[in-house]
Amino acid sequence: MDRLACVNVPEFPMQILLRDHPEWRGTPAAVLEEDRPQSPVVWVNDHARRAGVRPGMRFAAALALSPTLNTGCVSPVHIAQEQDRLIARLRKFTPDIEPADEPGMCWVGLTGLEHLYPSPERWADAIRADLQETGMQATVVIGFTRFGTYAVAQISQGTRIFHDPADERTAAMDVPLARLALAPELRDTLAKLDVTTVRALVRLPEAGLLERFGVEPYRLHQAVGARSTALRPSAEPLPVRARRTLDTPETDLSRCLFVFKQMLDPMLATLAARGAALAALGIRLKFDRHGWQADHVRPAAPTLDSVQVLDLVRLRLETVRLSQAPAEAQRAAAGIVDIELTAEAVLATHEQLRFFGVHPHRDLAAGNRALARLRAELGEQAVVRARLRDGHLPESHVTWEPVAALTLPRPTLVPQRTLVRRIWTHPVPVATATTRQHDGWLILGTAYGAVDDLLGPYVVSGGWWVREVDRAYHFAQTRRGDLLWVYHDRRRRRWFLHGQVE
């Protein structure tokens, strides 16, 4: 029978508060729900408990009982961040970790660890010692069932190991209900009926518990009888990274920042989807013929604001460019050829996620200012837009005209959306079919698959007044599902890719 362990950091928010305020150790302390006089007390330490302070009291009443009471708030976001750090540290000891609903508690698997640790006791002691380095006191109970280890962990300290399932069940049956995570009203009601332990609860019929007291005691009753030890381990989140290899060594700061923005925006979107925010951004730059240079920027607070992060990146890149050190100056002058970014994430607040979810409105004035800067740097013909016109050949249907100012689009509703055919400015030569039936024709290589269907031809010829053309256009559908627009140049006897339908 596989064994598992329950790792419990009791009174997790209280331990977080005392770790953040070590000067409060040895004095009465309590965690408040909110920082106001009428806020309820959520957690208390032993010194406050001896002074008569109990969870559920108002802060003002608790202060009357213990005038030296130290109090603070631990936000749900902070608790969740600490829970993630707890799981990250436990991953050093086992890959199978299932977080419990209660903060500061996890079930972990022991399978396969017998070759790494001489005994379960040594393994449990190593976990407790590692968590103690972070200022957390933990309890580790090794047993055979989720509920058994969970219940015993509520009344134990240090390490406790069961070698027989019957011993674990006996110990769990004697756990007082007051030590389990039950609603105070339900706990008091059961106490009036002299149901104060797990053993007394399981003697009651399940159906009666559900009908009279609701779902909470019913689920507890079911959990006591559950025998499955299969864990549902949480997947370790992959780090959010991005890498871009530049075609040519880049020395222009503005163009570098533009590449950074292209890489950073999807990373922030990924973090937002995970409910996280950027705490730090690791930057690795590879300079032409000078190797890699690692650096990082850290915003004042975790953020999902790309403008704030890019501003820090700009300042950091400017220090590289303006460095007077000969080696760094040579490196900067050589140009950047590779960029690698790694995000260090923490849980985001609700306000941060709400800000990221709001799509910014289009600022035409800012857009026009950006276009003006492009024209000033690259010339008047640098900013153009496409306009349709009559033409015999497909590439003659579009002309480019200068853009004076941006305008908002005015889309019209259509009953049915049509496919879009994107046309390449310069047709690309592709491989020629080896048979007339085009069986197994790999136009763009094996990644796209062979051509399954070929529609056409649609002949375009003429143009004798400039240069004579004779093309047979086809729509080629590949096995991957792409719809390519190709033509056979009869005069040159070659196939070209001229576009793609999306």
Q: Is 379 left (phi over 0), alpha (psi -120 to 50) or beta?
A: left
Helix, strand or coil, per DSSP, at residue 135: coil
- What is residue 283's predicted lDDT score, i.e. its pLDDT? 92
Positions in the chain short of pLDDT 50: 324
Question: Which secondary structure element, helix H or strand E, spans residue 375, and what is its range?
Answer: helix 364-378
Integer CA distances (angstroms), 234 to 148, 199, 231, 324, in order:
21, 31, 9, 49
Beta strands in 35-165 (DSSP E): 41-44, 70-73, 97-99, 105-109, 139-143, 159-161
- Rounded to whole angstroms, how far apart are CA atoms 50 and 28? 9
Contacts with 424 (C-beta within 8 Å, 6 or more apart), sequence order: 497, 498, 499
- What is residue 64's predicted lDDT score, i.e. its pLDDT? 86
Residue with tokens 């006897």: 493
- Centre a 10 Å sphere on the Cβ of residue 304 and count the other Cβ atoms it contains: 20
Alpha helices in 174-214 (DSSP H): 184-192, 198-202, 206-213
Q: Is the peptide bond before 457 cis (omega within 30 degrees of 0)?
A: yes
- Centre a 10 Å sphere on the Cβ of residue 174 and count the other Cβ atoms it contains: 12
pTM value surpassing 0.75: no
The alpha carbon torsion through 263, 267, 269, 272 (nearest 10 deg) reads: -160
Cβ atoms of 276 and 347 closer than 8 Å: yes
- What is residue 437's predicted lDDT score, i.e. its pLDDT? 59
- Rounded to whole angstroms, how far apart are CA atoms 298 and 307? 13
Cβ atoms of 31 and 73 closer than 8 Å: yes
- What is residue 184's predicted lDDT score, i.e. its pLDDT? 77
Cβ atoms of 11 and 17 closer than 8 Å: no
- Centre a 10 Å sphere on the Cβ of residue 441 and count the other Cβ atoms it contains: 20
- What is residue 217's predicted lDDT score, i.e. its pLDDT? 85
- What is residue 161's predicted lDDT score, i.e. its pLDDT? 92
Cβ atoms of 105 and 97 closer than 8 Å: no
